[in-house]
Structure 1
Amino acid sequence: MNLENFFAMKSSMIQKYNVPGPRYTSYPTVPYWNEEAFLYQNWIDTLKKSFAESNSKEGGISLYIHLPFCESLCTFCGCNKRITKNHEVENPYIEAILKEWALYCEILTEKPMIKEIHLGGGTPTFFSSKNLEYLINGIFSKAGRADDYEFSFEGHPNNTTREHLQKLYDLGFRRVSFGVQDYSEKVQKAIHREQPFHNVAKVTFWAREIGYTSIGHDIIFGLPFQEIEDVVDTIEKTKSLQPDRLAFYSYAHVPWIKGNGQRGFKDEDIPKDEKKRMLYEIGKKLLFKNGYHEIGMDHFALKTDSLFESFKNGELHRNFMGYSSSKTQLMIGLGVSSISDSWYSFAQNVKKIEDYYQLLETNKLPIFRGHLLTNEDLIIRKHILNLMCQFETSWKDESIYFEEIPEILTQLKEMENDKLLIIKKDKIRVTEAGKPYVRNICMAFDLLLKRKAPATKLFSMTI
């Protein structure tokens, strides 16, 4: 693809639609939570309601466990983390998570069955394999496993050992994702994530030898100093390792939220607009050529991976952990900053470790804010999930029709004229050309965003 031809085809479209917008891991998005109306008891009530429904309908719940420690700061990262080389922090933190889990188990009416666990961070492999074993065994001392459980974790290629992989496999984990980002030494230096290809290859081969059924690599486009040849080289190296699934994320430059953590380079060092989009288009083309299929937004998978199967069968789900092939109604988040989702409400834990410990000492869940979803929220949430997971939505079922639909369709008419979607009597479908703009399409359904546009920067650019 020639750069000049790309500019000619895409420039005006990108300029039109490249605006700040949510990534829709939830609806309502966090900035639009009605925190003032939210009560701690709201979360407890909806937790119990959802748990009863989940046990009967879905056979289990999900757990997200946030492990925030990292030995060094990656300047592209927007996650909640604590930088330290002191590994004595491991035991107290795990004990706190198990205390939080015990508080949840006291609230629930019966022994929970766990269908999904994801260890995120931070760097989960900051923790020793022995301590991770202690954590998981502690969780299951008060819970059972659903028949079709799926456990996953994020591994740092520089510090994930074969012992980590073997121990977590023995505990039931079958999916692992490794943060690659980009193989260019210049880019890696800028984002403070220096890791040679050899390290990624080593942990990938280990995971495959041990028996992991889904190995993922996370790649980012739009990083500082990143050029077309860097993306091509990264995809070609990725091809040689043949991971089962890939996340090909857009770098979200949000220094107004994360402060100096994302200021290890200048704004002018970051690819923007047409150039940034070209990095994605070329990467996507190479992924297609190498047998990967587009799944939702920014994700790709081989036909043999469960993510492809769930997308093909209309069962793909999206939550605060991202895309999942295993849908559960109730997700409990453990650890600092974790967000829980009962479907009917959201609840977020405090972000500072010291506050987290202090609240747990009072035998209270360490929640500091949340949102109780209204009937309107629940309807809009279904439509946005449909668009993000299946690239279409319908209001043929009267239960998810709402009175603003005609107004939304009028707003989407221009996108239909641009051939980004197809509007029918009772549904819309995103076209192949419209997939890069799915966040923009979701924004048309986001009534809260339209009623009160943000006065300050809240979101990253959509393209």
Structure 2
Amino acid sequence: MKPLSQTVEFDAALLNKYNQPLPRYTSYPPATELSPNFDTTSFRAAIALGNYKKTPLSLYCHIPFCETACYFCGCNTIVTPRKGIAAPYVDYLVRHIRQIAPLISRDRRVHQLHWGGGTPNYLNIHQVDYLWEQISQQFTFDDRAEISIEINPRDGDRQYLNHLRQLGFNRISFGIQDFNPTVQAAINRIQPESMLFNVMDWIREAGFKSVNVDLIYGLPYQTVDSFRETVEKTLALNPDRIAVFNFAYIPWMKPIQKRMPASEMPSSAEKLQILQQTIAQLTDAGYVFIGMDHFAKPNDELAIAQQTGKLHRNFQGYTTQPESDLVGFGMTSISMVQDVYVQNHKRIGDFYRALDTNQLPIERGVRLSQDDLIRRTVIMELMCQFQLSVQDLEAKYHLRFDLDFNDYFAPVLPQLDALEADGLLKRSRDGIEVTPSGRLLIRNIAAVFDAYLGDRTGNVFSKSI
């Protein structure tokens, strides 16, 4: 793989032209293709195949609870200040882990563990210890495993954060969204600046290897000037990674978003100005644009992995870990095992009832075809490395499928020609290389190879910018 330029160029005309609802391609096919008409024996067979191949493991635990609702949120959460709800859930989560773990060979090493939500630090220390102990007993962890957790900074103190680090968590993420008090009030997420800096100090003091923070642009009362200040304060925190998400206003899917004043949200033109300014601020400060909405310091593992062609992507986002089988525990979590994707029940009652009857708590799933696997390889290479080697792709599938790239993808080559004419990519005999102007529109480039896109309605996804 050739060395990759890490520059990104902002072209407002192109961004406006291609700004359309598209999948984020944390998987291919996207989760929208999972079906309730799914035979769960395929999931068991996929686990067995992973055992045979000794595929590394990535584990995910979903903690769905939040004490209060953030009006911008699009996650699957249960909002309640009554923390007694967590105890039975942790018990069922452990039952789920014990149900799946015997199916997986103990010689398969866990390279990645992530606790997400919701708010994982909704759990008290004793619940954290119990869940950690059960996972540790059931699986074999690699000595260099990436063990990460998302936290709500409003619910974390020095003792709690130190305890997480002492257990073995080495990466941590928390949401800032915006430093501006007016914006925070509009989205129901009050986080004083002093509190955020205290939390970062405690995280550094505890010795976490890497810290990620999230920002969101497109929220009510945000302006170019106000968001500039938010980015400046974020840089003062000095995180290792920064995610800058485009707010997806989808009140027809997330009714709670109606509580925000839509009339005060920045216009499309102003959002583009905010994005352009933010990219300039972060790259001028030395951060590398990884892709989509992620930035990292040049010595961070994400940046290094991308330069060496070892960056991967799954439902947890970008990762430096080897290609792994992702196994999700808890309600609504998604597993990606070999050629099978499954999602657990989204309703907590359905999740509980399945486990009470010794059933896998799977609500829907899909088994990938040979065509899906080929297209997944193409899309993930573009999303992660910003380039595709035709020779490597053809070699990967040669034994199972006599693949000729130009013949196989002949129907979409005119679309690639159009993207090349607009300067988003360069094609050669060796493959495809995304240009600095095309990096912000990588979802549009990946979508060329999406065989399902024409069957989906446009309001299912957020816009690409």
Query: Shared topology, TM-score over 0.5?
Result: yes
Give the aligned CA root-mean-square deviation in angstroms. 1.6
CA contact (8 A) 2:171 2:210 kept: yes
TM-superposition CA deviations, 1:411-451 (whole Å, max 9, x none): 1222211111111124111111111111111111101214x
Structure 1, residues 160-214: CA drift from partner, whole Å, max 9, x if none? 1222211111111110011000111121111111101111111111111111110
Q: Which runs of 5+ in 2 are unaligned?
A: 1-9, 398-402
Which residue in 1 is equivalent to 2:345? 350
Moved more, 235-244 or 369-378: 235-244
Equivalent residue number for residue 309 of structure 1: 304
Does residue 32 (structure 1) correspond to residue 14 (structure 2)? The answer is no
Matched with 1:82 is: 78
Tell me, yes or no, if the aligned pair for 1:50 and 1:329 is still in contact at 8 Å.
Answer: no
Q: Does residue 339 of structure 1 match 2:334?
A: yes
Residues 1:162 and 2:163 aligned together = no
Secondary structure, aligned partner of 1:141: helix
For the 8 Å contact 1:183–1:234, the answer to whether it is kept is yes
The partner residue of 1:406 within 393, 406, 410 is: 410
Q: Is residue 2:292 matched to residue 1:297? A: yes
1:35 Cα deviation after fit: 4.5
CA distance in 2, matches of 1:455, 1:301: 33
Does residue 73 (structure 1) correspond to residue 69 (structure 2)? The answer is yes
Secondary structure of 2:363's partner? strand
Match of 1:143 in 2: 139
Partner SS state of residue 154, structure 2? coil
Q: SS of the counterpart of 1:429? A: strand
1:130 and 2:114 aligned: no
- The answer to whether the Cα contact below 8 Å between 2:59 and 2:328 also exists between their aligned partners in 1 is yes
Aligned to 1:432: 436
Question: Judging changes above 3 Å, is the alpha-carbon distance between structure 1 residues 428 and 211 closer, same or farther for their aligned structure 2 residues?
Answer: same
What does 1:82-121 correspond to in 2, within 5 Å? 82-110=78-106, 112-121=108-117
Task: Please tell me the residue identity of whatever aligns with 2:102.
Answer: E
Contact 1:157 1:200 in 2 (8 A): yes
Partner letter of residue 306 of structure 2?
F
Matches of 1:102 and 1:10, distance apart in 2: 51
* 1:394 Cα offset (Å): 2.5
SS at match of 1:340: strand
Displacement of 1:296 = 2.1
Q: Deviations 1:122-161 (Å, cap 9, x if unpaired)?
A: 0111111221111111111222211221100011111112
**Partner SS for 1:120:** strand
> Are the equivalent residues in 1 in contact too, given 2:212–2:239 (CA < 8 A)?
yes
Residue 456 of structure 1 deviates from its aligned partner by 5.6
1:392 aligns with 2:387: yes
- In the alignment, does 2:262 pair up with 1:250? no
Residue 172 of structure 2 corresponds to which residue in structure 1? 176
- State the Cα distance separating 1:236 from its structure 2 match: 0.7
Report SS of the residue matched to 2:391: coil
Residues 105 and 112 in structure 1, CA contact (< 8 A), matched pair in contact too: no
Letter in structure 2 aligned against 1:278: Q
- Contact 2:49/2:338 (<8 A) preserved: no
Name the counterpart of 2:4. Answer: none
1:370 matched to 2:374: no
Aligned AA (2:425): L
Paired residues, what number?
447
1:277 matched residue in structure 2: 272
**Structure 1: unaligned runs, 5 residues or longer:** 1-8
Equivalent position SS for 1:447: coil
Deviations 1:24-44 (A, max 9, x none): 0110012223543x3111111
Q: Matched residues in 1 for 2:265 and 2:417: separation?
A: 33
* 1:309-362 residue CA offsets vs partner (Å, 9 max, x unmatched): 212221111110111111332111011100000031100000111111111111
CA distance in 2, matches of 1:455, 1:332: 29
Q: In the aligned structure 2, how far is the partner of 1:65 from the partner of 1:148?
A: 19
Match of 1:458 in 2: 460
The aligned amino acid for 2:459 is: K
CA distance, structure 2, for counterparts of residue 10 and residue 214 of structure 1:
32
- Measured in 2, the distance between the counterparts of 1:120 and 1:357 equals 19
Tell me if the contact between 2:15 and 2:441 (Cα under 8 Å) persists in the aligned partners.
Answer: no
Q: Decide which moves more: 196-205 or 62-71.
A: 196-205
Partner Cα distance (2:290, 2:457) in 1: 33
Distance 2:48 2:252 in 1: 37
Amino acid at match of 1:253: Y
70-79 or 397-406: bigger deviation: 397-406
TM-score normalised over the length of structure 2: 0.92
Equivalent in the alignment of 1:417: 421
What is the SS of the residue equivalent to 2:448? helix
Q: 1:220 corresponds to which residue? A: 216
The structural deviation recorded for 1:106 is 2.2
SS of 2:306's partner is helix
1:14 maps onto 2:15 in alignment: yes
> Which of 354, 358, 369 does residue 359 from structure 1 map onto?
354
Amino acid at match of 2:240: D
For the Cα contact (< 8 Å) 1:158–1:195, is it kept in 2? yes
SS of the residue corresponding to residue 409 of structure 1 reads: helix
- Taking the aligned partners of 1:223 and 1:88, their CA distance within structure 2 comes to 33
- The AA in structure 2 aligned to 1:119 is W
Is 1:43 the equivalent of 2:43? yes
State the AA in 2 paired with 1:441: I
1:112 offset after TM fit, Å? 4.8
In structure 2, what residue type is equivalent to 1:429? E
Cα distance, 1:111–1:404 mapped onto 2, change above 3 Å: closer
With normalisation by structure 1, the TM-score equals 0.93
Deviations 1:243-265 (A, max 9, x none): 1111111112222222x122122
> In structure 2, the residue corresponding to 1:158 is in which secondary structure?
helix
